[in-house]
Structure 1
């Protein structure tokens, strides 16, 4: 009887939603992949109903964490990143912005939406940009284990040199999600820029691979992200002890992990778009990626 009362209480929180009945005979998007072979959805604009997703997500009463690393001159991107995220990221939901930086005084103190706050962590920076990039896995692994699991339900990891252009909501959330890399969309897998040296922990042979994922945006539950970052950090440390550094740094280790730990959701090119790379794809193989993009939700910014 107590269980029945609990479900009745939950039902009271739901309000009526009016929308067309779904039809499997009329897919929302044609011409793009919307499902992987392991039944993970590939998220494109118009493949979901955000009103339904928001209603379901609100039942969890959860907070989302969004992290960025702003080291050395990358602090110049912070203000634009936070301003655009506060406008377009997870509207109507609580968000903690986690800023990892070597210059805490550069973190903007602008006003945010209700239910949002910036939490700053000071971390060291290194002379080599490669070392700054590689430490991300270790730092997130440590902090997710120590405190993030007590503060947020989902954790999203983003590059700082990007800007949110349109709504990015709970449609991206799942236990483990990754984002397609624009440069390798519709490319045969032996042409992916995986690490090809067998001595590296990031090694993937040419006859393996599903997609090539960007390191610019990934996330999931705190528990899954802790497992991912801890595994990637361990691979990095093992390679370091053998004087090996993966070709594409933490992105190489991320792709190795995701090959054997399949993401439960994949974000399309709309969630990390780069006009320069899209033009390069058109020039190299005449693939018109612009025609596939209904809404470019996140844009990579030119390097300053």
Structure 2
């Protein structure tokens, strides 16, 4: 009996020590995570985000897209099992390795496709960003196709001279500056819609709209063309939908409870009719909010996300097409096509 009692005491003592050890280990691990986040800030957050799995293409393995566009139907969606390559409504998400660039270029050359690129360079943004944006676009943006750059600026005399390739043109359109950068961002929607109506629809089948504070560093080609094209935001493509920064104000026209993805307004595009629909919708939402004396959380980007929630894009671009080096290295980002330029918000937005 004494032996049993001694053994029982020993077991209880050992279990207590083991329990205390587990608590200490858990505490140490939690402390390590907190210290990691504190010392490495955004890098730590991005590290943990990468552990969050993206959704997957809902098609059966090796199944092709059923699309009226034969090129999209030929995409090799299953060459990239590490990322989501199509949406639940059957639109492709363009990633390196899923398409043959030559097939898209030959198709659009045969179709005599012409592309308009719009960019707003207002105030000091022109001096800081426009030249590098245009020079890099000449190297990498739709290089096999005729392209016209439509530059909207308040100081047309300061637009830099950039040598253009054959079949490439530049047109400068003067617009008024605004007191706030938010107003510049939001008013571009009406300006683009009006200019599509008066000019672009007569000359181009497709249009892409860009922010100026970006630099092309790799192919941004005809594979990106579609009826309506949205871009996955580099900071949110691996986040949970509850973390997307939709406008949560029920009074706003941009109000959203949930959505499919979080789209970045730095780039959107499509056919001239598709982009006209996008920009008119966003402008109407902005004006409805203005009547109530409110603004959506992320201005035109919030309204763009609402549009793509109600009217699904026919094509989605992966974050390769607009990456931020602040995020750092990601295994799934095999190429960079466009990079965020260094932001000087303290200087440029004052």
Query: What range is the shorter-chain TM-score in?
Result: 0.7 to 0.9
SS at match of 1:61: coil
Q: State the alpha-carbon separation in 2 of the partners of residues 54 and 32 from structure 1.
A: 25
Partner of 1:6: none
Aligned residue pairs total 270
**Which residue of 126, 130, 134 corresponds with 2:182?**
130
Aligned with 1:270 (options 301, 320, 326): 320
Q: Distance in 1 between matches of 2:190 and 2:161?
A: 27
Residue 247 of structure 1 corresponds to 297
2:236 maps to what in 1?
184
Q: Which residue of 2 aligns with 1:229?
A: 279
Residue 337 of structure 2: aligned partner: 297
Distance in 2, matches of 1:213 and 1:92, equals 27
- 1:117-156 matches, within 5 Å, as 117-156=169-208
Normalising by structure 1, we get a TM-score of: 0.86
Match of 2:149 among 97, 122, 125: 97
RMSD of aligned alpha carbons: 1.3
The answer to whether the aligner puts 1:209 opposite 2:249 as a matched pair is no
Runs of 4+ in structure 1 over 3 Å off: none
Distance 2:88 2:201 in 1: 31
Select which of 157, 169, 172 maps to 2:209. 157
State which of 223, 226, 243 in structure 2 corresponds to 1:171: 223
Instruction: Tell me the TM-score normalised to structure 2 length.
Output: 0.75
Q: Does 1:56 align with 2:116?
A: no
Which of 79, 82, 86 is 1:28 aligned to?
79
* Correspondence 1:256 to 2:296: no
C-alpha deviations, 1:246-281, integer Å up to 9, x for none? 1101000000001011000000010000011x14xx
Q: Do structure 1's residue 220 and structure 2's residue 267 form an aligned pair?
A: no
- Which one of 115, 134, 137 corresponds to residue 82 of structure 1? 134
User: Which residue does 1:111 correspond to in 2?
Assistant: 163
Q: Cα distance, 1:23 vs. partner?
A: 9.8
Q: Does 1:199 align with 2:239?
A: no
Q: 1:110: Cα distance to partner?
A: 2.0
Q: In the superposition, relative to structure 1, how do residues 31 and 273 fare at CA in structure 2: closer, same or farther (>3 Å)? A: same
- Structure 1: how far apart are the matches of 2:146 and 2:306? 32
Residue 210 of structure 1: CA displacement?
0.2
**Cα distance in structure 1, aligned partners of 2:301 and 2:340:** 16
- For the residue of structure 1 that corresponds to 2:270, the secondary structure is strand
Q: CA deviation at 1:27?
A: 2.3
Q: Secondary structure at the match of 2:215?
A: strand
